[in-house]
Structure formats: C-alpha cells, structure tokens
Copies of this chain bind each other. A is one copy, B any other.
C-alpha cells in the first residue's frame, strides 16, 4: 500500500517491532516499483495478479480461482478471457466433470510469469551489501519463522 515503511514508533524499544519495521522498509522499496513493472509488461493489476497466482504446474477450476482472487465468478470469466486473448492462459476441460473448466498458463504465459517474478521479487540492493557472514546469520534466524521449521 503505502511506500512508507511501517512500524509503531511507540514500540521502538521492542526488538520484534524494530525488526519488522526494518523488514517492511526493505519491502516498501520494492513495492513502489510495482506499477511501473506492470505497465512495462502491458499488464493491469488484475492481470498481473492473475498471472502470478495461477499455479503454473496444476490447472485450477474457474470457481477455485474466484475463491483465490476473492472476486465473482463472472469476473473470472472476463479476466481469463483477457488472458486468453493475449495467449497467456487457456481453458481446458476437466477430465471427469464436464461442467468444470480448468485454467492453465500457456508456454507464453509461463515465460511472462518468470520475467515478471524476476522483476517483482528482485532482491533489493541493500541486502546485497551485507557480508556473507551477516547473510548466513540472517538466513539461520529467519528460517525459524518458516512454517516448515522443525
């Protein structure tokens, strides 16, 4: 949302808040570039979101996309129409239920998605400036926050 870094100044003495503030600041620097990136690829926010969130490996039904995107089913129809027009996605029949249509990225859609991800999730330069040792420490600690951490 805002390009401003986050964090409650009243809790600057809380190390968890301070850490989160620093993390959001790192992310805010990227976030401000999103509209430019989308425009450069000729994508509107909806198409960009769709392209990034369609599972590249497993086709999903229209209704599951409506759930994931939190929008009406009729809007999924419209959005997928736009992606199909650009050759980025395609509807496929469901192997068992003939009512269902699944959506998959085309080869072209895949390629665009990869390019898009590279720019959207590009690492901020600020991180690159840290020493190898600091980066390893960062990874070790942050790994503990991952859902699959033992």
Contacts and interface: CB of A to CB of B under 8 A. Distances in A.
Interface in A93-128: 117-118, 120-121, 123-124, 126-128
Interface in A112-150: 117-118, 120-121, 123-124, 126-130, 132, 134-139, 141-147
Interface stretch (A16-24, A58-66, A72-80, A82-90): A16-24
Interface residues of A, number: 51
A52 B141 CA distance: 31
Interface of A is mostly: helix
Contacts of A3: 53
Contact of A134 (B22, B120, B126, B144): B144
Contacts of A127: 16, 19-20, 145
Contacts of A7: 121
A81 interface: no
A64 to B, nearest CB: 14
Interface of A: 1-4, 6-8, 15-20, 22-27, 34-35, 48-49, 52-53, 70, 117-118, 120-121, 123-124, 126-130, 132, 134-139, 141-147
19 contacts: A1-B48, A1-B53, A4-B52, A6-B117, A8-B118, A15-B132, A15-B136, A16-B130, A19-B142, A20-B127, A22-B138, A22-B145, A24-B27, A27-B27, A124-B145, A126-B145, A126-B146, A130-B144, A137-B137
